[in-house]
Amino acid sequence: MLRLGGGVLTAAEMRTSSASKGESLADTVRVVGGGYADVIVLRHSSEGAARLAAQYSPVPVINAGDGAHEHPTQTLCDLYNLHVERGKIEGLEVVLAGDLKYSRTVHSFVYALARFNANIICVPQPGFEMPEYVVRRLKEEFSVEPLRADVRRLGDLAGSTDAVYLTPQKPHQLSLFTDISDWQVQNVDAVYMTRPQTERFGDEDLSETGYMRLEKQSMQADSLRDAVVMHPLPRRDEIADDIDSDPRSIYFKQAARGVPIRMALLASLLGEIELPRERPVVPREAWPVAVGENPCPNPSCISRTEPRHVTPMFTLHSREPLKAHCAYCSRELVYRFVGCSTSKHYHAPDSKELRKVLPEHLVFLSDEGNAEALAYRPSGH
């Protein structure tokens, strides 16, 4: 922002702000955006915080990371680096390694790679596999079917983990893979290493197994001969220092290239430049949970961490069976029955009757007791 000629107001230490006095995020962005700032760059520990902020802010909001959910500006930087180093993104073979469960950079990156028809090899630290809700979104939006990967050609890098191959395919092509038990990983274009996100789970979960490490020996595998090494930084011990001098290591270039990418994003939002847009992205419509308790199961969701100030919202992903997800953190909602607020009847999620119920009249019920407490009756009664 300074390079663009603007100024910066920071509130990196929230203990010195009104948030320490109990001010909600919604109120904070209304105050800051109402008279102090032309754009808000928000990093927050709760998942879905950026979406909430965007609902209330009078100025544009940039998501600089919301909990373990997403980090889209890092993904813009990562895509740019891949394109600079490889000349393209489509069809590339990209290894995502390390903490795939809590790394928000990985979650945003994998959606973008699928959108650009790249192929992804997931090599997780054992116990830190890609979250189910991320895999589900990849399948729903990009027709990605996970396949077990044969990663023997990756050598030491994948010596002690179960790898998964994710490839965006058109529906009629998926049948080609039904008889394949292990996808053979051949040559890799990039290795994207991530650190353990211990600020979200603690070191105790790694005490027995330790954390995977990319070393000089690892990079001698035949399949990695031409692979660039990427990392969103900061790193800990997951990349050995002797790899820094390897010409395939680009993580410091990667960080430097993030400056012009973020400058372009800011300039675009402030109306100083116009970026080409092939097609507008229409956000999935969301509805408030008007009746009953919050059905989002994620304790780190902004709808859970600020329950007094945030109305839970949901999006619909299918009607039969009815599947709904939290509009803030993308997790699938947990419920046993679904009611109609006008008829006061409830149904099983696979009931055809639910297709007749408008989204704004849907009520998510955890069990019969919950339904009875809200005066809902079984369908047919």
Domains assigned to the chain: 1-67 (3.40.50.1370), 72-258 (3.40.50.1370), 287-378 (2.30.30.20)
Nearest CA to 343 among 362, 329, 322? 362
Q: Mean pLDDT lowest for which of 97-101, 144-148, 284-288?
A: 144-148
pLDDT at 261 over 80: yes
- List the one residue out of 289, 291, 315 whose CA is nearest residue 376: 291
**Would the pLDDT of 14 be above 60?**
no
pLDDT at 174 over 90: no
Percent of the residues in the chain that have a pLDDT greater than 70, as a whole number? 89
Residues with Cβ within 8 Å of residue 322, at least 6 apart in sequence: 316, 338, 349, 350, 351, 354, 362
**Range in 38-47, 225-234, 253-262, 276-285 the model is least confident about:** 276-285
**Cα–Cα distance measured from residue 264 to residue 241, given in angstroms and rounded to the nearest whole number:** 32
Residue 205 — very low, low, confident or very high, per pLDDT cuts 50/70/90? low
* Average pLDDT over every residue of 20-47: 89
**Amino acid 175: pLDDT:** 40
And the tokens for 293?
């308790």
332/162: higher pLDDT:
332
What is the spatial distance between Cα 152 and Cα 311, in angstroms, rounded to a whole number? 48
Closest CA to 98 of 130, 124, 131: 124
If you average pLDDT over every residue of the chain, what do you get? 88
Asked if residue 263 has pLDDT above 90, the reply is yes
CA-based angle 141:147:149, to the nearest 5?
Answer: 135
Length of the chain counted residue by residue? 381
Predicted pLDDT of residue 172: 38
Cβ 141 vs Cβ 208: under 8 Å: no
If you average pLDDT over residues 346-371, what whole number do you get? 94
Phi and psi based region of residue 166 (left: phi greater than 0; alpha: psi -120 to 50; beta: remaining): beta
Q: State the Cα–Cα distance between residues 1 and 231, nearest whole angstrom.
A: 24
